Structure 1
Amino acid sequence: MRIIKRLANWFGLHPMAGDVIWALILVQPTLGNTLSLFTAEEQENPLGYFPSTAFNHVLMIAWGVSYAAPLIWRRTRPALMCTLLVVPHLVQLAVVPIPMFPNIFVLIAMFAVAAYGSERARRLWLALGVAASLAAAIKWTTGAAVGSQSDGSGPHDVVGIMTFLFVMLAASVTVCWLLGAFTRERFTTVRTLKDRADAIAAERDRFAQLAAEQERSRIAREMHDVVAHSLSVIVVQTDGASYALDQPGDAAAKLELAREALARIASTSREALRETRALVGVLREGEAPEMAPQPLLDEVDELIESTRVSGLDIDYAVDGSPEAHAPLGPARETAAYRIVQESLTNVIKHAGPGAHAWVHLTHSGTGLMISIRDDGNGADADDGHGHGLIGMRERVAPFGGTLAARPRLDGGFEVLAIIPVDEDGPPSDRRTGAEGPGAPAPLSRITDLTRNNS
């Protein structure tokens, strides 16, 4: 079966090779038909038989080859095939008043030109095929009448026979032409479906590539947040331990402080290593790493506590309840967690010693607002390339959120992020129309504020 499939594919790619084989097969009965027109007696024959001479043999062989040779271009150049077939058929109409075997090549030509020819060639050769049917009906009917008179069998209804023969020949030509047109349409449909399937496959590959790029971007953001936060905490703890050892006082107390700092460094490093392994495991092909769950909004408390241990003074407050809006979902909660984490990392890196930070989460009917501000030194002028802020903006962008990061007028830095909920999601006992001094600020007002000051 595999060999047959390979041969079929090869002949499909080389149509002329298959047509040459068919021409060689059909030339044998064609030559047999033309050579059978010889008569043993050199006398005039009303049916057009010819004396068996060497010259006539050459003519008959050339005539038979002229019937079969055009089949070589059956699929590659069908209009040329039809044109070349006209010559031997005109010779037949002139010298032989009876049907011959190669006349079936007309039906093959009609099928081929309808299936593989141009639109103009299809119409032209259909009309010529019908005209050839009329010419053949007239010639063959006349030849049969002459033969019957020579045999003494009497006259026949020439007009009736001619009409019947014409209808049969024209119908055969038309049917073959229609079969070719149907085949052409089927080829077109198959080609269209194949092109559509290829386009769908290409689009699927593009989506897969885009998804892979998005996944790599997500992993890069996660790695940045994890590594930057953990290293910032480690640096602060290391500096604190060094400072404590350099101060005068009880050596045992200083060693205890240094030991606590080293313990915090070890804990932070282990946590960062665990998350890094989980993230990098996604990039390894052929493996199925155990992925740690992504941090959610209720883990912000632990993040605040771990950051406080590093020495940063943080005030943390939450206004409203998650029930005030539709569920955020894991993706939005992870984005909120990472924004808080990255903002606190920036406070540790840039605010300087003695800085104070405020983390404020506000749940409203339309989503979650995150506010992180500090009273430190603000961002340095040579603060790298700003990948952290870019990453935070990329986290809120898929949800239609906004993020503003800017220095404060009274010193320090602030980050305001808004993560709207999915409006199509199920509402969960939302509170609307809350007013009063304790109510959270309207989300639309905060959005305008961040856009005007970003």
Structure 2
Amino acid sequence: MDPVHTTTAPPTAAAERPRIGERIMAAVNRDPLTAPHAVRNDAVLAACTALLATVLALLVDHGRRPDALGWTLLLAAHVPLAWRRRRPLLVLLLALAPVVPYHALDNNHGAPVAGTMVALYTVAATSTPRRTLLLGTVVIGTTLTVNALTNPDGFVELFRITGWVVAVLVFGVDVRYYRQYVAAIVERAERAERTREEEARRRVAEERLRIARDLHDLLAHSITLIGVQTSVAAHVLAADPERLDRETVAKALDDIAETCRTARGELRTTLEVLRDNGGPSDTRGPLAGLDGVPDLVETARLAGARVDPTVRVASSVPPAVGAAAYRLVQEALTNAVRHAGPEPAVRVDLREEDGLLRLSVTDDGTGPTPGTTPGFGLVGMRERARSVGGTLDAGPRTGGGFEVTATLPLTPATTREGTG
């Protein structure tokens, strides 16, 4: 049997380690107060600067070579650097404390410069500009005083030391502002990303709510009609089995089949919207509008309701408003057929008035049975009216029955396309 050979896939670009330049820039951009492994890294830095100071003290002829006390002061000045990012100002003071007597004893003056500059830079990069300016003044004043006492004729050395101190402080402040600038850019990018994510979630929630309303209107309407038509067929079959009214039963069954076909078609259209991936924003085809109200009236009549429709709309209605009005009438008729009792008298009134579409559906029924669990019909109707900038009221009538009234604006600016 041949051995099975396996190959290892080459590492992807995402797994490659960042370049040295990228790591340096990342370290520069990072806030030193929150950087990981701060003490460990600063301890290594302190050891390196102490080693550099030792080399300078031994090899560079700039003052006398330190004695035992000088070496102690020199090395003691570098120990606090291991905690420079935790307590920058305290570390600077602890570093300067042995440096002042070190210089006063006329030891090698160049040896402790690197460590002192590191402490100065840390304070400038982490403190406010005002504190940095005050600190620079104190450091320069102290340096001038020590230099005047140990080397009164060294004007060149005086200017050199002052220049280094000012340069380090300015560089630290500049790095601080640069980090704040980078942090602001990152924060704006994160805020923009959060805004985009919130907008995407809002759109998803609105779409789910719209689909929930469509499914409720579709299924509640269809199931209610099927239930009424089935009850008619069952009543005919049970009333007088010997003198069966075959024509009435056949008609009831045909109505049930037609209702099922209509519901299946609308349900398929809604599911196509759910399955759509990257296609057009609205694949549902033409929205049902006021032209579909006569079909709703006829369907309600087949279910036993006595419907009296009145439609007085002269101008063209925006598709979103027409679709909302269609769904409101559909849900109101469904509730009347379901809750108003046998053969309720229902009046549907649609009229245009002052740039508004006014809708009213009233019945003379008994209303929902006490103790019935409320559904989502009225909630969905109010949400649908609000989706096009309208309002809806629903409740029992004073003289009996139930009434649904809605006011929908006809101006396109206040509508939202895609309401179904």
TM-score (structure 1 length as normaliser): 0.74
The aligned counterpart of 1:416 is 405
Letter in 2 for 1:35: L
Q: Secondary structure at the match of 1:314?
A: strand
Change (3 A) 1:93 1:249: closer
Structure-1 separation of matches of 2:102 and 2:212: 81
| Higher gyration radius (CA) | 1
Structure-2 separation of matches of 1:118 and 1:15: 21
RMSD: 3.5
The aligned counterpart of 2:344 is 355
The aligned counterpart of 1:311 is 304
2:171 is aligned with 1:179? yes
- Which of 324, 328, 338 lines up with 2:318 in the alignment? 328
Contact 1:275–1:292 (8 Å) recurs in 2: no
Structure-2 separation of matches of 1:168 and 1:47: 16
Letter in 2 for 1:69: V
In structure 1, the gaps of 5 or more residues are 39-45, 51-55, 143-157, 427-454
- CA drift of 1:242 comes to 2.0
- Aligned length, in residue pairs: 390
- CA drift of 1:187 comes to 1.9
- CA drift of 1:418 comes to 0.6
Change (3 A) 1:121 1:207: same
Change (3 A) 1:92 1:407: closer
The aligned counterpart of 2:17 is 3
Contact 1:372–1:415 (8 Å) recurs in 2: yes
Structure-2 separation of matches of 1:279 and 1:319: 30
- CA drift of 1:406 comes to 3.0
Letter in 2 for 1:305: E
Write the deviation string for residues 17-43 of structure 1: whole angstroms up to 9, x where unpaired.
3322322322222112233489xxxxx
2:40 is aligned with 1:17? yes
Write the deviation string for residues 159-198 of structure 1: whole angstroms up to 9, x where unpaired.
xx52x54344323312321221122122223323333433
Letter in 2 for 1:102: P
Q: Secondary structure at the match of 1:353?
A: coil
Change (3 A) 1:334 1:423: closer
Letter in 2 for 1:77: R
Equivalences for residues 29-428 of structure 1 within 5 A: 29-36=52-59, 48-49=64-65, 56=67, 59=69, 61-96=71-106, 99-117=109-127, 121-139=131-149, 141-142=151-152, 158=153, 162=155, 164-247=156-239, 254-279=245-270, 292-293=284-285, 294-323=287-316, 328-330=318-320, 332-422=321-411, 424=413
Q: Secondary structure at the match of 1:340?
A: helix
Q: Secondary structure at the match of 2:307?
A: strand
Contact 2:57–2:108 (8 Å) recurs in 1: no
Structure-2 separation of matches of 1:49 and 1:139: 19
Contact 1:99–1:140 (8 Å) recurs in 2: no
- CA drift of 1:116 comes to 1.3
Q: Secondary structure at the match of 1:3?
A: coil
Contact 1:371–1:417 (8 Å) recurs in 2: yes
Change (3 A) 1:36 1:409: closer
In structure 2, the gaps of 5 or more residues are 1-14, 416-420
Change (3 A) 1:248 1:48: closer
Contact 1:77–1:117 (8 Å) recurs in 2: no
**Stretch deviating more after TM superposition (367-376 or 90-99):** 90-99
The aligned counterpart of 2:4 is none
Letter in 1 for 2:106: V
Q: Secondary structure at the match of 2:395?
A: strand
TM-score (structure 2 length as normaliser): 0.79
The aligned counterpart of 2:11 is none
Q: Secondary structure at the match of 1:317?
A: strand
Structure-2 separation of matches of 1:186 and 1:285: 46
The aligned counterpart of 2:10 is none
Letter in 2 for 1:407: P
Write the deviation string for residues 45-87 of structure 1: whole angstroms up to 9, x where unpaired.
x95446xxxxx4x555534422433332333321122112213
Write the deviation string for residues 126-179 of structure 1: whole angstroms up to 9, x where unpaired.
12221133135425644xxxxxxxxxxxxxxx3xx52x5434432331232122
Structure-2 separation of matches of 1:98 and 1:195: 47
Contact 1:351–1:379 (8 Å) recurs in 2: yes
Contact 1:76–1:116 (8 Å) recurs in 2: no
**Stretch deviating more after TM superposition (204-213 or 354-363):** 204-213
Contact 1:48–1:95 (8 Å) recurs in 2: no
Contact 1:229–1:342 (8 Å) recurs in 2: yes
Structure-1 separation of matches of 2:304 and 2:17: 76
- CA drift of 1:285 comes to 10
Letter in 2 for 1:232: T
